[in-house]
Structure 1
């Protein structure tokens, strides 16, 4: 018994002399958003604060490093 095969749909014909390229909306928005955020950090670097670690967490990590370093 033969099984019906599925055929691929034919691609749309391209416009004459052009290339059909379609991008999703986020492919344009994300790079623009990243550029604007980085530009804002360059213009006003006082808004970029370094993360401060909790002293207890730092102490715990040092103890673990000494424990596993032996």
Structure 2
């Protein structure tokens, strides 16, 4: 016994594709690329932080403080 087949296309395919990206979906990666490219061209403009502790150590310390507050 054969099963009936569907000859109609899927409803999502019949309409035109109307996918539109928001303006920032293209603008933000473009700005990030330009900023990184500018740092490659002129690395003297890339200033390191001059604080006493590295940023990672400050981040870990802050995370520990937040975890102890939740107890």
TM-score computed with the length of structure 2 as normaliser: 0.50
> Where does structure 1 differ by over 6 angstroms across 4 or more consecutive aligned residues?
none
2:34 corresponds to which residue? Answer: 36
Corresponding pairs, count: 43
- Please say which structure displays the higher CA radius of gyration: 1
Alignment of 1:1-70 (within 5 A): 14-15=15-16, 19-54=17-52
Distance in 1 (alpha carbons) for counterparts of 2:15 and 2:27: 26
Shift of 1:28: 0.5
Residue ranges of structure 2 left out of the alignment (5+ in a row): 1-13, 54-71
Residue ranges of structure 1 left out of the alignment (5+ in a row): 1-12, 58-70
CA RMSD of aligned residues (A): 2.6
TM-score computed with the length of structure 1 as normaliser: 0.51
